[in-house]
Amino acid sequence: MKEFAFCWLVLVSVLAPASAAAQDIVGSWKQTAFYQKVVSSGEKRFPFGEKIVGRSVYTKEGTFCTMATGIDRKQGAVAPTDEERVGLFKTMYAYCGTYRLDGSKLLAQPDVAWTPNWTKREHNSSWNVNGKVLTIETLPFKSQLDGVEVVAIVEYQKE
C-alpha cells in the first residue's frame, strides 16, 4: 500500500504542474507590448509604434483569436480613403484559429488572418506566464515590413 501511495504522489507531482501550466494561457489577455528584435543586430524596433492596443483570447478547447493595432492610427472621415486604408492595414495584425501547447511551445494554426500567407503554415512560438503576464516570442521570420529576419515579442496582461 505504501508503494501505491508513493507512486500516486510521484505521478500527481509530475502531472499536476504540466496541467496547471497549460491552463495558464486560457482566458482573455490585453496586449501591452509588441516589438521585433532584428536577429543579426539585436536592434529592437516597434513596427506599430511603442504604444499598442490589442487582445488575445485562448480557450480551453484549443481555439484562439488575436488582434493588435498601433494606438496612434489616423482616419480622417467615416469612410477611410485608399491611402488611409493602406496606412491602417500596415499598422495592424489579426488572426484566429486553433492552438496546442507542447511544453513551452505554442503551436498556432490560423484558419483566418489579415494576410492570407499566415494561414498557410503552423506558427511555432515560445510562451511563458509569470503571474498575470503572458510573453510570446516567435521563431525567426522575415518581416513583412522589409524582409529583415526578426523575432517578434508580444506581452499581455491577464484580464
Domain map (residue ranges) of the chain:
26-158
Q: Position of cell 508503494?
A: 3
- Give, in order, the Cα–Cα distances in Å from 136 to each of 7, 54, 75, 91, 106: 35, 14, 30, 19, 8
Read off φ and ψ for residue 53, nearest 5 degrees. Answer: -130, 135
pLDDT of 29: 98
| pTM exceeds 0.95, yes or no | no
pLDDT (tens, 9 = 90+) of the chain, 159 residues, equals 444 333 333 333 333 333 448 899 999 999 999 999 999 999 999 999 999 999 999 999 999 999 999 998 887 778 898 999 888 888 999 999 999 999 999 999 999 999 998 899 999 999 999 999 999 999 999 998 899 999 999 999 999
CATH class of domain segment(s) 26-158: mainly beta
Contacts of 14 (CB under 8 A, 6+ apart): none
pLDDT of 15: 36
